[in-house]
Amino acid sequence: MKTADFDYALPPELIAQTPVEPRDASRLMVVDRRTGDIIHRHFSDLPEFLRPGDLLVHNESRVIPARLFARKPTGGRVEILLLRQRADDTWETLVRGRHIRAGTRLTLLDSPDGHPSGAEAEVIEAGERGMRVLAFDRPVLPLAEKVGVMPLPPYIHVPLENATRYQTIYAHTPGSAAAPTAGLHFTPELLHRLQEMDIRSAFVTLHIGLDTFRPVSEERVEDHRMHTEYCRLAPEVARQVNQAKLAGQRVIPVGTTSVRVLETAASKSQKPLGFRKTPRVHPSHTVQPFEGATDLFIYPGYDFRLVDALITNFHLPRSTLLMLVAAFAGKELLDRAYAEAIRLRYRFYSFGDAMLVL
């Protein structure tokens, strides 16, 4: 499968630079896999397409102020993006700067052009394309909250006036370098309306890291390897998912990260029945709790175990996120939906509009 098949041309003015207000005023494209129909509404209309007993699965990971600034011993300026915690105060990062070799000590600043903060970090591993492993001299999350900056994606050029608009309203566990953007459309009022309709919510965690920031560079999709990200599906959420599946009700992840948590947990839980390459869900054994690293890469041909519908945004060309949605919606239907979104001037990417795939 060619990576180029997941490319498309997007007019730059359709890249959303600011969020809409209120959150659920964004547009919603509803795509029906069974009929091929495409309907255009607003996100506030979401309840019309759901039914009692549906289980929405949200990613409650919280974006940390993951952009840090530092200087080398020579005085050169360095920018650090926190990606994933390895252990204690050691983190995988992206570092922008010249000659950042293993052994280099960095002095953390209190602002982009500021003064030394008193904290330091040492480069203990140097990888490709800016990847560095840093050992900090103190706990990183409190440091980031004090001197860090919210890491908006590189295609957003307008400063964010309110940092909470790049967090979901239910963001809780800090650890992501980017927001789970499908969840940005939910308001407290919308969640309350859904609850009154007996549409329930469950919350998983996936701390978003490197692959959100980079398109697939390999010529063949199958040659791409995902970087690992931490995820957690708690025992209570496993119970909710199992209850829904056994009752014949739909499990609907909010965003591709929630899909990956569910499918990772399912792949660790289920045993193959017969000789199928990918096991089907057994009615008495759906999913078990899971906590750990995932490098699950979902692209067309994947056999979904748990997902019945999907809420998502419009994603970058050649991205693993676009490939996941194509795997669920079908490549031909998704291509048609994206062409329709461009024709009708939908807003794309992190602060853009939403899609519901049924």
- Is residue 288 within 8 A of residue 231, CB to CB? The reply is no
231 and 176, same structural domain? Answer: yes
Q: What's the start-to-end Cα distance of the chain, in Å? A: 25
Q: Residue 56's pLDDT is what?
A: 98
Task: Say if 152 falls within a structural domain.
Answer: no
Q: Give me the pLDDT at residue 275, please.
A: 30
Residue 108 half-sphere exposure toward CB, CA atoms < 13 A: 26
Show contacts of 47-50: CB within 8 Å, 24+ apart: 47/190, 47/193, 47/194, 47/197, 47/199, 49/356, 49/358, 50/194, 50/197, 50/199, 50/252
Q: How many domains does the chain have?
A: 2
> pLDDT digit string (tens) for 182-227?
999 999 999 999 999 999 999 999 999 876 667 898 999 999 988 8
The residue with greater pLDDT, 212 or 311, is 311
Report the DSSP beta bridge partners of residue 136.
121
Min mean pLDDT across 55-64, 146-155, 322-331, 348-357 is at: 146-155
What percentage of the chain exceeds 90 in pLDDT? 83
Q: What angle do CA 195, 197, 198 make, to 5 degrees?
A: 65
- What's the pLDDT tens digit per position in 252-301? 999 999 999 999 999 988 654 333 344 444 444 479 999 999 999 999 99
Strands (E) in the chain, as ranges, are: 27-31, 38-42, 55-59, 61-63, 67-71, 77-87, 90-96, 105-109, 116-126, 131-136, 173-176, 200-206, 229-233, 251-253, 290-294, 310-313, 354-357
Domain membership flag for residue 180:
yes
Determine the number of helices (DSSP H) and then strands (DSSP E) in the chain: 6, 17
Q: What angle do CA 89, 93, 94 make, to 5 degrees?
A: 160
Under DSSP, the state recorded for 113 is T
The token pair at 275 is: 């000789």
Percentage of the chain exceeding pLDDT 70: 95
Mind listing the pLDDT tens digit for each residue in 72-131? 999 999 999 998 888 889 999 999 988 899 999 999 999 988 899 999 999 999 988 789
Largest CA distance in the chain: 64
Q: Which of 89, 118, 147 is the last residue of a domain?
A: 147
Please tell me the predicted confidence (pLDDT) of residue 285.
Answer: 46
The per-residue b/e assignment along 70-94, b for 16 or more CB within 10 angstroms, e otherwise, is bebeeeeebbbbbbbeeeebbbbbb
- The DSSP symbol for 47 reads G
Res 276: pLDDT: 39
What are the two backbone dihedrals, phi and then psi, of residue 68, each rounded to the nearest 5 degrees?
A: -115, 160
pTM: 0.91
Q: Which of 298, 288, 216 is nearest to 259 (CA)?
A: 298
Question: Are 57 and 123 part of one and the same domain?
Answer: no
pLDDT at 125: 92
Q: Which residues, 6 or more positions from 20, have their beta carbon under 8 angstroms from its beta carbon?
A: 26, 347, 351
Write down which residue in 147, 180, 209 finishes a domain. 147
> What is the rounded distance in angstroms from the CA atom of residue 60 to the CA atom of residue 170?
6
Whether 52 and 90 share a structural domain: no
Section 16-23 average pLDDT: 97
Provide the residue count of the chain.
358
Distance CA 251, CA 77 (A): 47
Cβ atoms 322, 5 nearer than 8 A = no
Q: Are residues 275 and 297 in the same domain?
A: yes
The answer as to whether 157 is a domain residue is no
- Assess contact for 296 and 267: CB atoms under 8 A: yes
274 with 341, same domain: the answer is yes
CATH of the domain at 261: 3.40.1780.10
Whether 126 and 220 map to the same domain: the answer is no
Q: Please tell me the predicted confidence (pLDDT) of residue 228.
A: 87
State which of 112, 147, 182 marks the end of a domain: 147
228 shares its domain with 279: yes
Q: Does residue 59 register a pLDDT over 70?
A: yes
More confident residue, 350 or 214: 350
Q: Which domain holds residue 77?
A: 67-147
